[in-house]
Amino acid sequence: DAGVTQSPTHLIKTRGQQVTLRCSPKSGHDTVSWYQQALGQGPQFIFQYYEEEERQRGNFPDRFSGHQFPNYSSELNVNALLLGDSALYLCASSYPSIIGGSGELFFGEGSRLTVL
């Protein structure tokens, strides 16, 4: 049973460029959430996708956008990169909890983005 997979694992970009990160959820999961983790901090919620739509969004600018495909995989796009976007980007999958909330989340290994 494949877990959550992310690509690429590492990448380096320069300010102003755009980046796309990819995520395949754990088998049987239909909900994908993206988190940003700066060095020394806990993960911060970016947004969540369910049924190919953005269902929730954290406090991130519109430069951060995403997409979910019919097979439940997802992409995170960041435009006009800033130095402060350097971070570990984590994807998590789950299936919606019957009683609401995130359900148990399972995380991928992350994509480490460095912006120069």
Partner 1 sequence: GIQVEQSPPDLILQEGANSTLRCNFSDSVNNLQWFHQNPWGQLINLFYIPSGTKQNGRLSATTVATERYSLLYISSSQTTDSGVYFCAVDRPGNTPLVFGKGTRLSVIA
Supply the minimum distance, in Å, between the C-beta of residue 62 and partner 1: 18
Cβ proximity to partner 1: between 66 and 110 the closer is: 110
Contacts of 55 by beta carbon, 8 Å cutoff, 6+ apart: 31, 48, 49
Cβ proximity to partner 1: between 6 and 115 the closer is: 6
Specify whether the CB–CB gap between 46 and 113 falls below 8 A.
no
Cβ proximity to partner 1: between 16 and 114 the closer is: 114
- Strand-pair partners of 7: 22
Supply the minimum distance, in Å, between the C-beta of residue 16 and partner 1: 26
Q: What angle do CA 29, 30, 33 make, to 5 degrees?
A: 95
Specify whether the CB–CB gap between 57 and 44 falls below 8 A.
no
Supply the minimum distance, in Å, between the C-beta of residue 97 and partner 1: 7
Report the C-alpha gap between 7 and 10 in whole angstroms: 8
Binding region for partner 1 (CB under 8 A): 33, 35, 37, 41-45, 48, 55-56, 58, 88, 90, 92, 97, 99-110, 112
Supply the minimum distance, in Å, between the C-beta of residue 91 and partner 1: 11
